[in-house]
Structure 1
């Protein structure tokens, strides 16, 4: 049986860069025995494989609550017949491709799998399905520091909606970053050893960059494939006004920093003790320090 590596990509954590690189290197990866194929009906974004979320909920006998994904795949809200048809068609095609072989490792990437809509039942159902198709299944997630993640998310929303909301109000409304809650659901479903949590920061990444680090995940020797591809975050791009596309990264006030630190203390503590118990000093230095863009 082939193995599998599934990148469960938190938004604003380099998912677009990885997906663009994987798409650009699809043929070169296959020559190395690694099968990756972009699976998304949209042409204006690179976030791939929304089908996996639909299949997860269908396998768990639950309706998909994510309206954006339903719209992308043509599923009317609450229409289980349409949902099941999309899931069945994807599952049939995917399982046939796995059965045909020709590769050692399948690589997938989907931001939909760590959306706020995911449930423990859907995650467990998807993990059980993948375990039946592949020998060894590994799950990879990159995590950012909450304050830099929230600033990035706020800038993204500002460009998308031109909202008058300020950063402090956004942080107060948003609450803690979802990393710990969602990682706990995945850890419970797939087991501690199968979940590889990596920090989105230069000094933590193998080889000094996000794509290069993911190449180490794929067990590709250095220099096997180029590490750069065109990096453009296309999410919502066609819906933005030209004036709104420029980066907007507001400066955090001391009050807002404290608010973020307090609301995320429990979650960050759990991530540290669960995944970085052997590197606590380094983790705490990363959590308290400034982040290098990768």
Structure 2
């Protein structure tokens, strides 16, 4: 039975760069008995495998509440027949490829699995299905500090919508980052030992970079494969107007930074105690950000 490593996001935490690297190294990975294949009908984005979210909800007997994923896969809203057909076709193809073998580890990646729409039932159903196909299943998530994540998300939204919303209003509207809530759902479904939470920060990543770090997750010695990746987020590029493509990430004021810190204090404390109990001092230094050392 092969093993599996599933990268479950989060968005704005290097997922695009990681998926671009995986796609570029597909043949090189297979030569090392690691199977990765981009599974996405879209050609203008990098995010892969939206089918996994649809299959998760179908296995749980629930409709997919995510309109973007439904649209991507041609599922009319609320059409369970179409949803089940997409899920069945994907499951049949995927299980056949696993049965054919030729690899010892499957690696997948999909931010859709940590979207705000995910339910405990869908996560548990997907985890149970994967456990029936693979011997050891590991789930990997990279997490950023809430303030840098929110600023990055805010810049993404500005470029996507050309909104005139201010950062402070965005922070008030968005509330806490979703890391703790969604990690808790996955932890409850797959067990803490199977969930590998890693901090998206050079001081934590093995080798100081995301791609090098993920190679260690795959069990590859450092330097086995090239670690450079073209870091371009294509998820909304085709819909942007030319003027909106310029960077628009504002600097955080001390007041806004403190507001974000307070909004996320309980959640970050939970992440620390749950996944980094043996590295509390280092985690707190990371969570405080570079400004704390100034």
Q: TM-score, normalised by structure 1?
A: 0.98
Partner of 2:241: 241
SS in 2 for 1:197: strand
Partner of 1:66: 66
Q: Aligned partners of 1:5, 1:145: CA distance in 2, in Å?
A: 24
Partner of 2:4: 4
Partner of 2:125: 125
Counterparts in 2 of 1:1-294, with a 5 A limit? 1-290=1-290
Deviations 1:246-282 (A, max 9, x none): 1111011122111101110010000000000000000
Instruction: Tell me by how many angstroms 1:230 deviates.
Output: 2.0
Q: Aligned partners of 2:290, 2:236: CA distance in 1, in Å?
A: 28
Q: How many residues align?
A: 291
Contact 2:18–2:229, Cα closer than 8 Å, also in 1: no
Q: Which segments of 5 or more consecutive residues in structure 1 lack a partner in the other structure?
A: none
Instruction: Tell me by how many angstroms 1:229 deviates.
Output: 2.4
Q: Aligned partners of 2:38, 2:170: CA distance in 1, in Å?
A: 33
CA RMSD of aligned residues (A): 0.7
Instruction: Tell me by how many angstroms 1:208 deviates.
Output: 1.0
Q: Aligned partners of 1:39, 1:158: CA distance in 2, in Å?
A: 28
Q: Aligned partners of 1:215, 1:111: CA distance in 2, in Å?
A: 19
Instruction: Tell me by how many angstroms 1:231 deviates.
Output: 2.0
Deviations 1:198-254 (A, max 9, x none): 000001000110000000000001121100122211010000011111111101112
Q: Aligned partners of 2:175, 2:165: CA distance in 1, in Å?
A: 15
Q: Aligned partners of 1:224, 1:289: CA distance in 2, in Å?
A: 32
Q: Aligned partners of 1:179, 1:234: CA distance in 2, in Å?
A: 23
Instruction: Tell me by how many angstroms 1:181 deviates.
Output: 0.1
Instruction: Tell me by how many angstroms 1:64 deviates.
Output: 0.1
Q: Aligned partners of 1:290, 1:3: CA distance in 2, in Å?
A: 38
Q: Aligned partners of 1:200, 1:99: CA distance in 2, in Å?
A: 34
Instruction: Tell me by how many angstroms 1:114 deviates.
Output: 0.2
Q: Which segments of 5 or more consecutive residues in structure 2 lack a partner in the other structure?
A: none
SS in 2 for 1:157: helix
Q: Aligned partners of 1:236, 1:257: CA distance in 2, in Å?
A: 27
Instruction: Tell me by how many angstroms 1:82 deviates.
Output: 0.1
Instruction: Tell me by how many angstroms 1:290 deviates.
Output: 2.8
Q: TM-score, normalised by structure 2?
A: 0.98
